[in-house]
Structure 1
Amino acid sequence: MLMGAAITGWGVALPSRELRNDELAESLPVTAKWIRDRTGIEMRRIAGPEDSASSLAITAGHAALTRAGVEPDDLDLVIVATSTPDYQLPATAPLVQAALGAEKAGAFDTNAACSGFLYGLAQADGLIASGTARKILFCASDLLSRVSDYTDPSSCVLFGDGAGAVVIERVDGESRLGPFVLRSDGSGAGLLRIPSGDPFLRMEGREVYRRAVDAMSRSVNEIVERAGMKLDEIDLVVAHQANARIVEAVGQRLGLRPDQVALNIARLGNTSAASIPLALAQASDEGDLENGDHVIITAFGAGFVWGAALVRWGAPIDGQNELVLAGEMNV
């Protein structure tokens, strides 16, 4: 029997503190309007001293498990995508595994920067397809405020903190995840980096913008071609929420309708690997994403690493053609 993978539940976690543009601009040589006009961001969530990549992942992961109806003890794997781990060693995923009580699960981290959710989803799909796992908890959690230089308006105005998690399970029939396009070009590593010995992220914004728009647009077109579909058959494109101008430029280059493009960066900022699951959650809550919809996710991150994937939203109920989803997000 053909076996595939599907997202059966999800959860999110956001720090309680809101940092608005007017407050941020007080210590910068720019105005709140300057920030909004160039990024589309009005506010972002900022982690407090009690927050960490693991704590946010634990909260989001618990919500995802509850809504999927999966017990922690039933998990085969816990995967965490993060660029801001609690420690250099050990990985963050075992901390999440232990806190949730997933005693039978293996655990590992993956780091593809802002493309972390896309790359981790591909890993989870492959692990299920190979028979290695049946149930996987995949969390994407980043606290980029911890590596932001708040004297540098070219970068610090972009970033916020948050986490999103999904439960991925084996299902009968074709996989609802994929095809995937995964690409990289390490020649651009110096354009978006955290140098050794420097605690802060450094970025060449204009070149990153140009490359991000081009790479994500090409990846979406490649996914549509591989899937044998047309762009007007895609219900929603969820791009990494790097900057509203980047997301809008991708939509325009692809000729998408505004209602086909998810955009939630105004209140959350760029949350790195967490941005796509957070955007999926909000789109579902607001009715922009419904059970059975065809979604393309696409991302571009430091490395550079980028790509896209087709996702059929929801999971089949046994013996039926209906779909089931669970989740709730308040922003």
Structure 2
Amino acid sequence: MNVGIKGFGAYAPENVVDNAYFESFLETSDEWISKMTGIKERRWAGEDEDTTDLAYKASVKAIEDAGIEANDIDMIIVATSTGEYPFPTVGNMLQNRLGISKVASMDQLAACSGFMYGLINAKQFVQSGDYKNILVVGVDKLSKITDMTDRSTAILFGDGAGAAVVSEVSEGRGILSYELGSDGSGGEYLYLNPDNGKIFMNGREVFKFAVRIMGEASNRAVEKAGLQSEDVDMFIPHQANIRIMESARERLGIPKEKMSVSVDKFGNTSAASIPLSIAQELENNRIKDDDVLVFVGFGGGLTWGAITLKWGK
């Protein structure tokens, strides 16, 4: 059975926050932020728009794109680090918002790698034959857990959501290979500080880890698919930092024009990062049926994941 993305949708809040915003209260500048991270602006949700709201708006688009009804969804997997509550989960609340009763729903926490983890979990459930249409959502409202007094992290994060309906797809399409992993010894470098409920990151250590693992995981996923770098039509890395992304691209041997860049518009949106890039490239007609795509990300934990996928229903 070939399992892939049957429907896709994404959502970013309307409120745009540019780099100039930070100049009034942090020792930083638009020029420095742009040069060091590639970020020009990010989207922040308002106080009346929380994680489940973002997830719902992306999910409605994905279900419509799949050509199915909400009641055709038989499982929901939400990758997020910013649920409104420890429980009920975003998955539980999203199920209720979509009007779907009694289907399995859960949240999954792998930070910025979460969307890859969600896709692969969904793939296994569909291949088992027990489930047909699984809604996978990558969503985060990072603005509510960002320390605005910390110059090194305040500038990085944004809010957004992306959703995919994972189902059986036509012959030769869908998820071709994957690579998932974690290293708990690096958890101290990127975590949610229990003292203030905000993100803490050791930028130097995370940068070293990300530069290495993004390239390694991408290469392994491509090799597992029996492909080479020249077979890849679009490289979609986690949009954390343009320097990390460029390093991963170079290690994979992908030309610059084949890498998706949306970090300039959305910043780092954690589990929503890769979906927002997919949405951008679909809108720009840069992803077509039978294109080979490589997704790769890393996140707190420390976690990582990479997927090779042939696009199409």
Question: TM-score per shorter chain, which class?
Answer: over 0.9
**1:42 corresponds to which residue?**
40
Report the Cα offset of residue 304 of structure 1. Answer: 0.6
Q: Match of 2:207?
A: 209
Note the C-alpha offset of 1:236. 0.9
Shift of 1:88: 1.2
Letter in 1 for 2:114: G
Shift of the 173–107 alpha-carbon distance from structure 1 to 2, 3 Å rule, reads same
Counterpart contact for 2:173–2:312, Cα < 8 Å? no
Specify the code of the residue in structure 1 equivalent to 2:175: L
- Counterpart CA distance in 2 for 1:196 and 1:23 is 27
Q: Counterpart of 2:306?
A: 308
Task: Say whether the 8 Å CA contact 1:78–1:97 is kept in structure 2.
Answer: yes
Q: Give the whole-Å Cα distance in 2 for the aligned partners of 1:175 and 1:88.
A: 36
**Residue equivalent to 2:107:** 109
| Post-superposition offset of 1:268 | 0.5
Pairs aligned (count): 313
**8 A Cα contact 1:10 1:63, kept in partner:** yes
What are the superposed Cα offsets for residues 41-95 of structure 1, whole Å, 9 maximum, x if unpaired?
0100011011111000001001111111110111110111100001111111011
Asked whether 1:29 is paired with 2:35, we answer no
- Which of 79, 82, 107 matches 2:80? 82
Name the structure 2 match of 1:191.
189
Aligned partner of 2:69 in structure 1 is 71
Q: Which residue of 1 aligns with 2:8?
A: 10
Q: Please report how far the alpha carbon of residue 175 of structure 1 lies from its aligned counterpart in structure 2 after TM superposition.
A: 6.0
- In structure 2, the CA distance between the partners of 1:65 and 1:175, relative to structure 1 (3 Å rule), is same
> C-alpha distance in 2, partners of 1:86/1:121?
22
Distance 2:58 2:86 in 1: 22
Cα distance in 2 for residues equivalent to 1:27 and 1:248: 30
TM superposition shift of 1:287: 2.1
C-alpha deviation, 1:161, in angstroms: 0.3
Match of 2:116 among 115, 118, 140: 118
**SS of the counterpart of 2:188?**
helix
Task: List gaps (5 residues or longer) in structure 1.
Answer: 316-331
CA contact (8 A) 2:59 2:163 kept: yes
Aligned pair partner of 1:131 in 116, 126, 129: 129
Task: Give the aligned residue type for 2:216.
Answer: R
* Residues in 2 aligned to 1:5 and 1:23: alpha-carbon distance in whole angstroms: 43
1:172 & 1:178 partners in 2: Cα distance? Answer: 13
CA–CA distance in structure 2, aligned partners of residues 190 and 8 of structure 1: 38
Q: Provide the residue aligned with 1:326 in structure 2.
A: none
User: Hey, what's the Cα distance between the residues in 2 that align with 1:265 and 1:230?
Assistant: 26
TM norm structure 2 = 0.97
Equivalent residue runs for 1:230-249 within 5 Å: 230-249=228-247
Q: Which amino acid aligns with 2:150?
A: D
- TM-aligned CA deviation for residue 174 of structure 1: 5.4
Aligned to 1:167: 165
Contact 1:75–1:104 (Cα < 8 Å) also in 2: no
Match of 1:294 among 292, 295, 301: 292
Q: What whole-Å deviation, never above 9, does each CA across 1:202-223 have from its counterpart, x for those lacking one?
A: 1011111111011010011111
Tell me whether 1:271 sits opposite 2:239 in the alignment: no
Work out the CA distance in 2 between the residues paired with 1:132 and 1:87: 29
* TM-aligned CA deviation for residue 27 of structure 1: 0.9
Q: Which amino acid letter does the alignment assign opposite residue 266 of structure 1?
A: D
Unaligned runs of 5+ in 2: none
Superposed displacement of residue 172, structure 1: 5.4
Measured against aligned partners, the alpha-carbon deviations of 1:106-161 in whole angstroms (never above 9, x if no partner) come to 11111100000000000000000111210011111101111111111101101000
SS where residue 42 of structure 2 aligns? strand
Q: Give 1:170 shift.
A: 2.1
What's the secondary structure of 1:201's corresponding residue?
Answer: strand
- Separation in 1, partners of 2:312, 2:94: 25
Question: Matches of 1:63 and 1:75 in 2, distance apart?
Answer: 13
**Cα pair 1:74 1:135 within 8 Å, conserved:** yes
Residue 173 of structure 2 contacts residue 290 of structure 2 at CA under 8 Å; is this kept in 1?
A: no
Counterpart residue identity of residue 267, structure 2: G
Matched residue SS, 1:155:
helix
Please give the alpha-carbon distance, in whole angstroms, between the structure 2 residues aligned to 1:172 and 1:275.
27
